[in-house]
Amino acid sequence: MDLCDLSVIRELLDAHGLRMQKSLGQNFLIDPDVPRRIAEAVGEADEVLEIGPGIGCLTAELCRAHPRVTAVELDAGLIPVLSETLAEFSNVRVIHGDILKTDLAALFEPGSRVAVCANLPYYITTPILMELIASPVPFVSLTVMVQAEVAARFTAPPGGRDYGAVTVALGAYGTVRKLFSVSAGHFYPAPKVDSAVVRITPRETPLLAEKEKPAFRSVVRAAFEKRRKTLANALAALPHGRSKEELGEILSSLGYPADVRGERLSPEDYAILTRLLFPQ
């Protein structure tokens, strides 16, 4: 069964009395080369967690390439479809649930090398990724397809116009690299924007201790809430007990002018800044 064939997709949906759920950001891949490339990009892992398998075209490729696959699907109507399309595979389990409400640690054996793979709905990309990088599961990689402009934000260098709070958060977690682009014509129905596949690889040595993360999030959030403000002014409202002049001196000690804006600092700089403002 070619799950990227448009006629097969339509027949499956009709057979199960389903329609596209725009509210869930459903767009199905119709180019078989794309799921194969994504599955290959995941790399070595004992288990793969797939988010939003849809009708299973990427899931099938993951099953062929990896020992075990767990697919979490929000749309209850797609569960019987997946039972049909993935019937040939004995190394997959499909779970009906919301990934944001799923106990990820309970899904996998301790010590198992788990990779994440997903074609993420555009409207909820960032919340899902923030949940994943905060998870206690030590993922070996996260390979996700996202909106092209979102991929640009994820991979933006400090000082660039696309650089923001999510760039810093992901950069603090690991290395983010764009793998390849996927045009809108590779989907049914075709979205209004192109996509890109990115791979996030966790740092071997964490940039932040667990107890430092809440303060780090507060600093980064404040830095980017009002981008026109200088960083010293943006941080002034936080409960660190420093004056604006002292904040300027701290920024100077990091090699920046006192009037620097938040988009200039790297994730590493934000980690140092957090420790200086909120020593543990």
How does pLDDT run along the chain (280 residues), one tens digit per residue?
Answer: 899 999 999 999 899 998 766 555 568 899 999 999 999 999 999 999 999 999 999 999 999 999 999 999 999 999 999 999 999 999 999 999 999 999 999 999 999 999 999 998 878 899 999 999 999 999 999 999 999 999 999 999 999 899 999 999 999 999 999 999 999 999 988 888 999 999 999 999 999 999 999 999 999 999 999 888 999 999 998 999 999 999 999 999 999 999 999 999 999 999 999 999 999 8
Q: Say if CB 50 and CB 31 are below 8 A apart.
A: no
Write the CA distances from 156 to 32, 37, 99, 177, 263, integer angstroms. 29, 23, 27, 10, 10
Tell me the pTM. 0.92
Report the pLDDT value the prediction gives residue 25, as an integer from 0 to 100. 53
pLDDT at 259: 93
The residue with tokens 């507060």 is 218
Give the span between the Cα atoms of 225 and 202, in whole angstroms: 26
Look at residue 21 in the predicted model and tell me its pLDDT: 60
Distance CA 165, CA 91 (A): 38
Confirm if 114 and 139 have CB atoms less than 8 A apart: yes
Beta strands 114-119; 141-147: pairing state = parallel
Give the residue carrying structure tokens 């981008």: 227
What pLDDT is stored for residue 83 in this prediction? 97
Helix or strand run (H / E) with residue 73? strand 68-73
In angstroms, the CA 62 to CA 205 distance is: 28
**Structural domains in the chain?**
6-202 (3.40.50.150), 210-277 (1.10.8.100)
Model pLDDT, residue 58: 97
Task: Count H helices and E strands in the chain, helices first.
Answer: 11, 9
Q: How far is CA 49 from CA 15, 62, 144, in A?
A: 27, 10, 11
Q: Give burial (CB, 10 Å; 0-12/13-18/19+) of 48.
A: buried
